[in-house]
Structure 1
Amino acid sequence: MAVRRVVPNVRSEAVRESREFYGLLGLEEVMDLGWIVTLASPSAPTAQVSLMTGDRTAPVTPDMSVEVDDVDAAYAVMRRSGAEIVHPLRDEEWGVRRFFVRDPDGRVVNVLAHR
């Protein structure tokens, strides 16, 4: 299993203003689902930040997202380790397969792969 990217998820009630702020640093919008907006560097596309009002299909807003090449393998590893699964493995309508797991410090990690 390989990590493809790690993205901080910033909970925001001011998404438009935050988009403009991060735009001043050179980040450009690459995705907007209404409740999550992802901004990326044009020169280094895996350098990203996501702004979230809340997660549309999960009970909590994740603190970060980790994209892996094999989300099913990642899920199996986390289950075997005894880590707390906060949101079960599932396919989402926007084209990702994902689950949430809590890290030892209590942060919620969205682990995903694009289908």
Structure 2
Amino acid sequence: MTVRRIVPDFQVDSEEAMRASSDFYGLLGLEQVMHLGWAMTLASPSTPTAQITFCTEERTAPVVPDLSMEVEGVDAVYAQVVASGAEIVRELRDEEWGVRRFFVRDPNGRVVNVLGHRGA
């Protein structure tokens, strides 16, 4: 398995808080690379895998995850995680914005969004 990136996910109270976060982290060199209205990702232009995501909610899952991990072969990773007996918070499925993902709870109670880009 190849891990392509790891991204911290932070829940914020409002779109205004997302804008304020974008402005602040813009001062530190990050630029907006995705905005779905309820989720926004900022990245370094020089190192695009250096990212941070802010969410007001999670529209397709029961909770906002604490962390996102992009992997190669998300279906195989899902099978491994299920076989391990780990708690699946949200089943594997395709999202309209081009990713296939599932949520799993780690041993410390944190929710991890494990994803792969479709067609990649």
Shorter-chain-normalised TM-score: which range? over 0.9
| Counterpart AA for 2:115 | L
Percent identity, aligned pairs only, is: 69
Partner of 1:19: 22
Tell me how far 1:40 sits from its aligned partner: 0.2
Gaps of 5+ in 2: none
Partner of 2:52: 49
Partner of 1:36: 39
Size of the alignment, in residue pairs?
Answer: 115
Do residues 9 (structure 1) and 9 (structure 2) align? yes
RMSD: 0.5
Structure 1 stretches of 4+ with a deviation exceeding 4 A read: none
| Counterpart AA for 1:49 | I
Partner of 1:77: 80
State the TM-score, normalizing by the size of structure 2.
0.94
SS at match of 1:75: helix
| Counterpart AA for 2:95 | E
Structure 1 Cα separation of the partners of residues 27 and 55 of structure 2: 19
Do residues 68 (structure 1) and 71 (structure 2) align? yes
SS at match of 1:7: strand
State the TM-score, normalizing by the size of structure 1.
0.98
Q: Deviations over 1:25-58 (max 9, x none)?
A: 0000000011110000011000000011011110
Structure 2 Cα separation of the partners of residues 74 and 30 of structure 1: 26
Do residues 103 (structure 1) and 109 (structure 2) align? no
Structure 2 Cα separation of the partners of residues 76 and 34 of structure 1: 31
SS at match of 1:4: strand
Structure 2 Cα separation of the partners of residues 19 and 55 of structure 1: 19
